[in-house]
Structure 1
Amino acid sequence: MEVTHELIVPNEDLPFKMFLFEGKNGNYFRDKHWHRSVEIFAVFDGNLEFYIDEKKTVLAAGEFVIVNSNEIHSIVAREPNQTVVLQMPLGTFEAYYTDEQFICFTHSDRNQDAFVMQLVRDMFVTYQEKKTGYELKVQSFYYMLIYLMVTRYRKLEVSEEIVRSRRNLGRLSEIISYIKENYTSEISLEKLSEVFGYSPTYLSRMFRKYAHMNYKSYLQSVRLEYAYRELMNTSNSIGEIAEHHGFTDARAFTRAFKTKYGMLPSEYKKTKNCS
């Protein structure tokens, strides 16, 4: 089974990503993957099977799990469920690192679970309603949640083995963060190598080993992810979107989009507008 890297793009109006779990209808399996963000899965109805570093945890309604940055995990949803997912940038916790760009959360103590679940529920309901000032209200809940995480769930003593295992994926995560910040520019593998002090050959191997694609394909996937969001949320032309997100021209964007989604960008937008 392959282990893949997941690209996370925050909600357009929030400093993190929040959404209803895509496996809500059941009969769903998500292969092993990892990402730089810290993630919370909060189950409000039904149940999920969670596997973190091969360890199985069954989440029932009213329970949540914290997935650490660069922690390999997979998910099984056999039955319908209602689960809210939060994906928080690692940098949110920068002031509380216990090692260089490292923080680790545990979930062994469940005394605070009811409060955490209520915060997540309030965040999601407020975001769905989108009343005046909703962004401020959601973020007030969000920072209370972060406070609980760093005061109740942060592990201050972490084994060197765990730190070392996360560090390998962490190196690539740093590179991926740089790509996400500069993806609209022309970032060659050689330029990336200069920035991070690795040889192009070594970087190429890292992408193939951990992201399971070559560097050029990964850069294109980042550009396509952001371009897709603009396509769905604006009336900008295909050419404008291509230019905004680093594609050489509209034809290159259209070709990449059709390869991933099986139709032209204009056709895809029509299907979404009609749904």
Structure 2
Amino acid sequence: MGVRFYESVVETNGYVPFHWHSSIELIYVMSGQFIFKFDGEAHVVQAQQFIVIASGVVHDVTSTANKALVLQIPLDFMAQYCDDPANLNMILKAPTDESYQKVVGLLNELNQINMRQKAGYLFDFGIILLMILKTVVLKFGTAESTKIRQDTSGLKDIITEINRHYTEPLRVSQLARKFGYNPSYLSRLFKQQIGITIVEYLYELRLSELYQDLIKTTLPIKGLMQKHGLTNERTAREMFKKMYGDLPKQVRLKYHR
């Protein structure tokens, strides 16, 4: 049926660049913390909380070491039960909300069913899945779309370009020229819709890749900075500490004593 449900365990800090899905996505945090950026805002999700992200919503994810449940429900599956799921947007609710707590309970139940896999468990899995989908669509869903949500689609090609070429010396003027924008307008548009500037996003991408190489390899830090397009080492160190709480050398020592 194309539905994906799994338990994710990550033992280090992490970052997933801006992306989007052709499905609705629920992430329930069992331990650790996530920060999702979309619609120009940051949304913090702590342990025992979840977030639901509509199809096509451009978002990135910053996380600490964590354990989480991830449920992705494709649009073609949803189309069997609701009209026009591609244009269904999601309203964030408080963790104290009754429907919010209902979804938390159902996600935990779904996880138990999936782990035990007793005879006939797929019947129970399907029942709980539909209960989650019904609650999300009726209690969290709305056909209304914010202007930011409508306009963000125009930046998807630019985000894809940045994600592919982040190690190169990309400039706002270069991106604006390639995609037919005025540089100043593109800068304002990106900041308004994504929540950070293009330069900040480039640094987040480069620093997250540097972090992964620091913990997975013993290659010289200076060489890794060059590999990931971090030509200004002083600025890179300052922003790395702001993002991860430690300098690159300190992170390296934590994982390679």
Give the TM-score, by structure 2 length.
0.55
- Can you list the C-alpha shifts for 1:152-204, whole angstroms capped at 9, x where unaligned? 001132246634544886xxxxxxxxxxxxxxxxxxxxxxxxxxxxxxxxxxx
Superposition deviation, residue 72 in structure 1: 1.2
Superposition deviation, residue 150 in structure 1: 1.2
How much is the aligned-residue C-alpha RMSD, in angstroms?
2.9
Judged with a 3 Å threshold, the aligned counterparts in structure 2 of structure 1 residues 74 and 105 are, in CA distance, closer, same or farther, namely: same
**Match status 1:148 vs 2:155:** no
C-alpha contact (below 8 Å) 1:126/1:134 kept by paired residues: yes
Q: 1:64 aligns with which of 38, 44, 50?
A: 50
In the alignment, which residue of structure 1 is the partner of 2:237?
A: none
- Can you list the C-alpha shifts for 1:47-76, whole angstroms capped at 9, x where unaligned? 212222442111111211111111111111
In the alignment, which residue of structure 1 is the partner of 2:87?
A: 102
- What secondary structure, in the 3-state scheme, does the structure 2 residue paired with 1:82 have? strand
Q: 2:118 aligns with which of 120, 128, 131?
A: 131
C-alpha contact (below 8 Å) 2:89/2:142 kept by paired residues: yes
In the alignment, which residue of structure 2 is the partner of 1:117?
A: 104
Q: 2:28 aligns with which of 7, 31, 42?
A: 42
In the alignment, which residue of structure 2 is the partner of 1:55?
A: 41
Superposition deviation, residue 122 in structure 1: 1.0
Q: 1:63-102 residue pairs with structure 2 within 5 A?
A: 63-78=49-64, 80-94=65-79, 95-97=81-83, 101-102=86-87
CA–CA distance in structure 1, aligned partners of residues 63 and 162 of structure 2: 25
CA–CA distance in structure 2, aligned partners of residues 26 and 68 of structure 1: 27
Letter in 2 for 1:57: H
Superposition deviation, residue 45 in structure 1: 2.0
CA–CA distance in structure 2, aligned partners of residues 15 and 53 of structure 1: 27
Structure 1 unmatched ranges of 5 or more: 1-13, 170-204, 214-275
- Can you list the C-alpha shifts for 1:98-125, whole angstroms capped at 9, x where unaligned? 58x4211111354122211111111112
Q: 1:1-275 residue pairs with structure 2 within 5 A?
A: 15-22=2-9, 24-78=10-64, 80-94=65-79, 95-97=81-83, 101-110=86-95, 111=97, 112-159=99-146, 162-163=149-150, 165-166=152-153, 209=161, 212=164
Give the TM-score, by structure 1 length.
0.51
Identical aligned pairs, as a percentage? 18
CA–CA distance in structure 2, aligned partners of residues 145 and 59 of structure 1: 19
Instruction: Between the two structures, name the one with larger relative contact order (CA 8 Å, sep ≥ 6).
Output: 2
In the alignment, which residue of structure 2 is the partner of 1:6?
A: none
C-alpha contact (below 8 Å) 1:62/1:114 kept by paired residues: no
C-alpha contact (below 8 Å) 2:93/2:100 kept by paired residues: no
Structure 2 unmatched ranges of 5 or more: 166-257
- Can you list the C-alpha shifts for 1:187-230, whole angstroms capped at 9, x where unaligned? xxxxxxxxxxxxxxxxxx89x759859xxxxxxxxxxxxxxxxx
CA–CA distance in structure 2, aligned partners of residues 119 and 92 of structure 1: 19
C-alpha contact (below 8 Å) 2:58/2:152 kept by paired residues: no
